[in-house]
Structure 1
Amino acid sequence: MRANLASAIGVACTAALVIPLSLPAAAQAATSDAPDGARHTAVTAPADPSAATAPAADPADRAAVPGSTQSLPLVGLRADQTTGAPQQGLSQREVQPFSLLGVVWEDPATALDGAVQVRTRAASTGTWSEWQDLETHNEAHGADASTAEGAAGGLRGSTAPLWVGPSDGVEVRVRAEAPRAGSSAAPLPRGLRVDLVDPGADPAPTATPPTDTTPGSGADTAADSPVTSGALTAEESAASAVNAEHAPLGALEIPELSKADTDALYAEEAAELSEQAGEVPAAKPYVGPRPGIVTRKGWGADESMREKNFVYTKSVQAAFVHHSATGNNYTCQQAPSVLRGIYRYHVKSSGWRDFGYNFAVDKCGKIYEGRAGGVAKAVLGAHTLGFNSNSMGVVVLGTYGSSTPPAAAVDGVAKITAWKLGLYGKNPSGSVTLTSGGSNLYKKGVKVKLNVISGHRDGFSTECPGARLYDRLGTARSTAARLQGR
C-alpha cells in the first residue's frame, strides 16, 4: 500500500485539513494567521476512546501516571558580602527521589540576570556533587508571543533543566548579577523555586505487532515495529494515530527505511509538497532515507499532561539545532528518562503546551519524536523564539559549549533533517528566507536569510547549541545533503 504523504502531512495552508484515517471524521480544526502569513492549525484529538482502533485503558490505568514534580520555594539569604547583590537559596536537605531539576519564577518576561548553582546527593551512594551551574537565559526557547501558547497565562520564567541522575538531596544558591558602578543591584525575579522532577519508570515491555493491513494501519510499512503491550488511552491513541502512515497504532518505534524504499514511497508526494510550497518540483526525490524514530509512546510520554490539540504551521523550510543544556552525565539507556524529565519540566514547570522540540537526538545518535502531532507533519514547536513558524527544532541531549558532541549525535541530526526537510523539498546545504516573529536579534516582520540547517544562535542571541555543536553543523549539512542524494 502506497502511503499518501500529502494526506499524512496535512499542511495547514487552506481551510481544509486532511485528518489521518485513525482519527474520527468529526475532529475539528481552528486556524489563525501567524505573523509571517503562515496559518497555524489546531486539530482536536478524539475525545471518545472508542474512536481509536486500540482498546482504551480503564480509569485505574489512567490514574497510575509515573513521575512527579516537587516544588520548593527559595528563601532569602544574606546579600553577597563583596558586591551587595541579593541572594536566595535552599540549604542542604533530604527530598523525595528525583533526577532532573530547574529553577522557576512567576513572570516569564523577567530575566534572571545572575548565577544559579545546585548541589545534589546521589541516591545510590549518598555522595554530594560539586556545585553545578544552570543555564539561566532559557527565554531564548519557547513559543512566539503572538501565538496562543506564547500568550498563555500559565507561562513561567525558568532556567534550563539539569539532569543529575537519581538523587535524594538538594542545595541551591541564586545570586543576582553584581551591580555596575554607581547603580544598585537588580532584584531577583519574584517567586523563585526549585522544581525537582522524577521522570518515572521506563515504558512497559513490548508485544507482538498487529497484522492488520487495512489502510492507515501502517502494518505494510512497519511490520517489524514493536507495539505497546497495554491498552491505549484516548490521548495516547491520538498521538499515535497521526503517525499511522509510518507505524501501527501504539508502536514504540517507527522503523528506518532504505533510500530506495524511501524514494519509492515519497517520490510523488514530495513533488506535490514542493508544488504546494510554490517551488519547482525537484527532478528526482531528494528525500533522505527515513531514519528509525522512537515514538512518544516508546520513550514513555504521559500524553495526559500536554494540551489535547495538535497545532501545525504551513511548512518546514528550516531546521534549528539546539543542545538541551541538561549536562552530559547520562547514559544512552537513560535518554528516555531524560526526555520524560524535560517534557514534565516544559509542561508542569514552564507552562508550555507540550515538549518544546520537534525531535531529540541522544549522544548515541538515536532519534526520538518530540512534540506531538506527527513526525512527517509541520508541527508548530516552541524551540527558537521568533522562528518557530515554518521550521522544526532538533535538540541534541547534552551540553556542548566546551564538550565536543559525539559523531553519532551529529550523524543523527543529519539523518532526521535529510528526511524531514526532504519531504518539504529543502536542500540541507542551501539557504532560506524566514520572517521573524520577534527575537533579540531580529524585530518582528524582518525577513532573514538563514541556512536551511541553522543553529539556535542564528535566530536569537544565545550560546545554544553550544560552540562545539555549532561548529559541527557544516558536517551535518553536507551529510544530510549526501543522504538526500544531492
Structure 2
Amino acid sequence: MGFSDLPVRRRDATRLAAVAAAAVAGVSIARPAAADRRHRLRAQPDGVDALELAVAGLAGTARRAGGLRTPVVATTRFAALGVTWGRGDGRVRARWRRERNGWTEWRTLPRLAHGPDPDSDEAAAATSATDLVWTEPSDAVQLELTGDQRDPVLVLLRPRRRKGDGRVEQPAPVVTDVGAREVGSVPMPGLLFRKAWGPDPRLRNGRPSYNNRIRQVHVHHTVNSNDYARADVPGMIRAMYRYHTRNLGWSDLGYNFLVDRFGRLWEGRAGGPRRAVRGAHTLGFNHASVGVAAIGNLESGAVGKRMIRALVRVAAWKLDMYGGNPHRTIWIRSSGSDRFPYGAMVELPTIDGHRDTNQTACPGQHLYDALPAVRRRTARRIREFRAG
C-alpha cells in the first residue's frame, strides 16, 4: 500500500509525525503547493532562495538495513545542494533532475573536508555535512543515505542576482607597485571587500579569531561550473556563505579570499584582510594559514591566466607580510584532520593544495598541477619587491 492509499486519518497522522520529526531537527519544513506538489524554495533577504527538508520527515522515505532512501523530491529551481546531520557518519548519494539534461546518475556527495579546527571554539557549533554541490539549474532530487547519520537535512539553494551584482569591477591597488618597491614590501592587490558581494550580517555568529602568523597558503576550488558570468559571482559567494553559517554552524564564510575566472580577488571571511584572520578552510591546518578558493571546477576545467595572476598576487602579499618563502616546505603540527591525527608533525609546501592536508580531490587536478608555477611566480614577485 502506497502513501496515497492510506486512509485520511492515518495519512494526516503520518504528516504530523513528519512535521514533529522536522521540529526536533530544528528545521522549518516547506510544504509543497497542493496544485503541483512541489517543495518551494523560499526567497531570503540575502538574495539566496533556500529550502531545508528533514529527510526523515519526507513521506515515502524507505528505511533499509543500514540507511534510507527518499522518494523523488520535486522542487522549484535550485542550483546547489548539500546534506547536513547532527551525529553519526556514513555515505550520502544523490541524483538530481537538471532542467536541460535530465537526471544524473547516482553520485556520492563528497564528505566535508574543510571546516574549523577541532580544538577551536568555532568547531563546537559545527555540524557534520557533505560539501555544497553545484548542480546546474535543477528541479528534483533523490537521496540515499548509508550509515548512522542522525537527523539528516537536505539543503537546496538558488543564488539570485541582485541589483549591482553586474557592476562590480576590480579596484586598483591602494599602493602602487612603485610605492611598494620604495618600502620594500609586496603591496595589497586590488581587492573587492565584503560589501561588494553583500553578505547578510545576521547569518554570522561570533567574532573573528586571529592567528599569530601566516606560514602557509592553502589553495581550494569551489567545484561549481566554469562558465559563470561576472554578475553571477556575488550570488555564488552569498550561497556559500549561507551554507557555511546557517547550515554548517560556522561563524562566517570558511575561505579568507576567493578568486574568480575574471581575475577578481574577493574578501571572504570578516576580520580585516590585512590581518591574520583564522579561517575554516583546511580542517586541522587553519591555525597558521590563509585559505584562497578558486571559483570553478578545476578538476574538469583549465585554470585561466587571470585566475593564476590573482592567486599569485594574494599569496605573495600575505606571505611577504610574515617572511614566508614559497619555495620551501615547513613543518607544522596538525590540530586534527581526516588525514593527519591531532598532534602529528607534517611537512608541507608553503603553498599547497587542499588534498595535501585532507582526504579530498580539491583543488582539482588542473589547479594542483599549476601550483609549482604559482610558487615560482609568487617567489619572484616577493623577491622583486624586497629588492626595491
Q: TM-score range by the shorter chain?
A: 0.7 to 0.9
Tell me if the contact between 2:256 and 2:268 (Cα under 8 Å) persists in the aligned partners: yes
Of the three residues 122, 133, 145, the one matched with 1:162 is 133
Secondary structure in 1 aligned to 2:70?
strand
- Post-superposition offset of 1:200: 4.4
- Indicate yes or no: 2:343 matched with 1:445: yes
* Amino acid paired to 2:121: A
Matched ranges for 1:4-403 at <5 A: 65-74=46-55, 75=58, 77=61, 86-95=67-76, 97-107=77-87, 110-121=88-99, 127=100, 129-131=102-104, 136-152=109-125, 155-164=126-135, 169-174=139-144, 176=146, 187=147, 189-202=149-162, 204=164, 255-256=172-173, 257-264=175-182, 267=183, 285=184, 287-403=185-301
Alpha-carbon distance in structure 1 between the residues aligned to 2:89 and 2:136: 27
Give the match for residue 8 of structure 2.
none
Cα deviation per residue 1:342-374 (whole Å; 9 max; x = unaligned)? 111111111111000101111222111010011
The share of aligned pairs that are identical, in percent, is 31
* Amino acid paired to 1:101: L
- Post-superposition offset of 1:140: 1.5
Tell me if the contact between 2:165 and 2:234 (Cα under 8 Å) persists in the aligned partners: no
- Post-superposition offset of 1:377: 0.5
Give the match for residue 465 of structure 1.
363
* Amino acid paired to 1:115: R
Give the match for residue 15 of structure 1.
none
Alpha-carbon distance in structure 1 between the residues aligned to 2:267 and 2:63: 44
Relative to structure 1, the CA distance from residue 411 to residue 111 in structure 2 (aligned partners, 3 Å threshold; closer, same or farther) is farther
- Post-superposition offset of 1:65: 4.6
Give the match for residue 24 of structure 2.
none
Relative to structure 1, the CA distance from residue 442 to residue 301 in structure 2 (aligned partners, 3 Å threshold; closer, same or farther) is same
Secondary structure in 1 aligned to 2:279?
coil
Q: List alignment gaps of at least 5 residues for structure 2.
A: 1-43
Give the match for residue 456 of structure 1.
354
Alpha-carbon distance in structure 2 between the residues aligned to 1:128 and 1:198: 18
Alpha-carbon distance in structure 2 between the residues aligned to 1:132 and 1:368: 34
Tell me if the contact between 1:199 and 1:344 (Cα under 8 Å) persists in the aligned partners: no
Tell me if the contact between 1:288 and 1:480 (Cα under 8 Å) persists in the aligned partners: no
Alpha-carbon distance in structure 2 between the residues aligned to 1:437 and 1:402: 31
Relative to structure 1, the CA distance from residue 135 to residue 425 in structure 2 (aligned partners, 3 Å threshold; closer, same or farther) is farther
Q: List alignment gaps of at least 5 residues for structure 1.
A: 1-62, 122-126, 177-186, 208-225, 227-251, 268-284
Secondary structure in 2 aligned to 1:191?
coil
- Post-superposition offset of 1:79: 7.6
- Post-superposition offset of 1:262: 2.5
Alpha-carbon distance in structure 2 between the residues aligned to 1:205 and 1:102: 25
Alpha-carbon distance in structure 1 between the residues aligned to 2:307 and 2:259: 6
- Post-superposition offset of 1:475: 0.9
Alpha-carbon distance in structure 2 between the residues aligned to 1:404 and 1:206: 24
Relative to structure 1, the CA distance from residue 92 to residue 350 in structure 2 (aligned partners, 3 Å threshold; closer, same or farther) is same
Alpha-carbon distance in structure 2 between the residues aligned to 1:463 and 1:450: 17
Cα deviation per residue 1:42-62 (whole Å; 9 max; x = unaligned)? xxxxxxxxxxxxxxxxxxxxx
Alpha-carbon distance in structure 1 between the residues aligned to 2:228 and 2:81: 14
* Amino acid paired to 1:297: K
Alpha-carbon distance in structure 1 between the residues aligned to 2:234 and 2:337: 31
Cα deviation per residue 1:293-334 (whole Å; 9 max; x = unaligned)? 111100111122112412111111100001112343523331
Relative to structure 1, the CA distance from residue 399 to residue 135 in structure 2 (aligned partners, 3 Å threshold; closer, same or farther) is farther
* Amino acid paired to 1:198: R
Relative to structure 1, the CA distance from residue 422 to residue 442 in structure 2 (aligned partners, 3 Å threshold; closer, same or farther) is same
RMSD: 2.8
Cα deviation per residue 1:174-211 (whole Å; 9 max; x = unaligned)? 253xxxxxxxxxx352322321223344354899xxxx
Query: What TM-score results when the alignment is normalised by the length of structure 1?
Result: 0.63
Tell me if the contact between 2:257 and 2:266 (Cα under 8 Å) persists in the aligned partners: yes
Give the match for residue 39 of structure 1.
none
Whose helix fraction is larger, Structure 1's or Structure 2's? 2
Tell me the matched-pair count.
337
Relative to structure 1, the CA distance from residue 441 to residue 166 in structure 2 (aligned partners, 3 Å threshold; closer, same or farther) is closer
